[in-house]
Amino acid sequence: MSSARIKVLCVDDSALIRDLLSEIINQHSDMEVVAVAPDPLVARDLIKQHNPDVLTLDVEMPRMDGLDFLERLMRLRPMPVLMVSSLTQAGSEVTLRALELGALDFLAKPSMGIRSGMMEYGELIAEKIRAAARSRPRQVRQKDRPTPQTLKAPMMSSEKLLIIGASTGGTEAIRHVLEPLPSNAPAILITQHMPGGFTRSFAERLDKLCQIRVKEAHDGERVLPGHAYIAPGDQHLELARSGANYVVRLDSGPPVNRHRPSVDVLFESAAKQAGRNAIGVLLTGMGKDGAAGLLTMRNAGAATVAQDEESCVVFGMPREAIALGAADEVLPLDAIAPRLLKLVAASGRAQRV
């Protein structure tokens, strides 16, 4: 970004949300709301007029649905879009669809005390806008997306584990990694930064698309091959042991790196419990959560992979990990799933730790 202020256009049918977003954004010296719109039809003209760097877009609006508008926008004029979403089951499903269509990230509207709730995470809103302004908008042609070929992995080990962390841009990156994996893939533990209420919908959506079983993690359940376990949106996910078995541990302790769930918490537990039997993967995301944890995994003998800059929506977390020397390999997103299965197959029988 140049030193010029980030230009933001807020599109929301609620005058209160438009006012609050304007107030929050305009408090920061490096960004400003250049215009607001009550619906996408007004927004269309304002985009031409102001050429904003970032758009905030409500999901449910009159005159044109937010998703229809987003789909057209990403086809005709790709730009960084932050969805403003309600914390409902329906809201979370629509938000995940928006991320598929090319939205970068989302802001969850508080369910109660809207003014105080929005003000409370004003800093997070500003951070997301900064990340959006630096991001690479994706032109998504959904109809052209080929069905992924299921990868074949010859020598599977029930001891091996894939440990994945992601943040901004991660919902689609994770789908990209999981979708081609065969049903006998090793067990997978995933921390994706996401508020509570969204992770169940995320897991259900992935479960429909993947050969493996994808579910929101439950405390104490056994970690099984062919399954992926996603950290609930308000709890840390850790790998633990119960006798000879790996199990899930959920923890409501304080945020780490300002996140709960935190990628560092997951990676550090995997380093401790699985050592060289784990493979760590750090995908797109803003900030540095997961960088130190990936280094801990590498030092414990795990193979480690970071997503490359070119394929990241936001190259924050992988960049920090690479700078620490935490990544054995830096790979484009398309190459990660095949590489993971080669690493698993090459290791043959798993090592006991």
Active site residue 207: no
3-class secondary-structure state, position 245: strand
Distance CA 31, CA 345 (A): 49
Phi-psi region of 15 (alpha: psi -120 to 50; beta: other; left: phi over 0): alpha
Q: Is the C-alpha dihedral spanning 127, 131, 133, 139 positive or negative?
A: negative
Active site residue 289: yes
8 A C-beta contact, residue 277 and residue 353: yes
The single residue of 85, 86, 167, 311 carrying the catalytic annotation is 167
The single residue of 12, 58, 289, 308 carrying the catalytic annotation is 289
Radius of gyration of the chain from Cα atoms? Answer: 20
Q: What is the DSSP string of 305-349?
A: EEE-TTT-SSBSHHHHHHHHT--SEEE-HHHHHHHHHHHHHHT-S
The residues pairing with 86 across neighbouring beta strands, listed in sequence order, are 109
Distance CA 263, CA 239 (A): 12
35 φ, ψ (degrees, to nearest 5): -170, 160
The single residue of 92, 176, 193, 311 carrying the catalytic annotation is 193
Beta-carbon contacts of 320 under 8 Å, excluding residues fewer than 6 positions away, are: 287, 288, 291
Question: C-alpha 208: how far from its chain's center?
Answer: 18
8 A C-beta contact, residue 68 and residue 103: no
Query: Which residue type occupies 225?
Result: P
8 A C-beta contact, residue 255 and residue 267: no
Q: So which residues are the catalytic ones?
A: 167, 193, 289
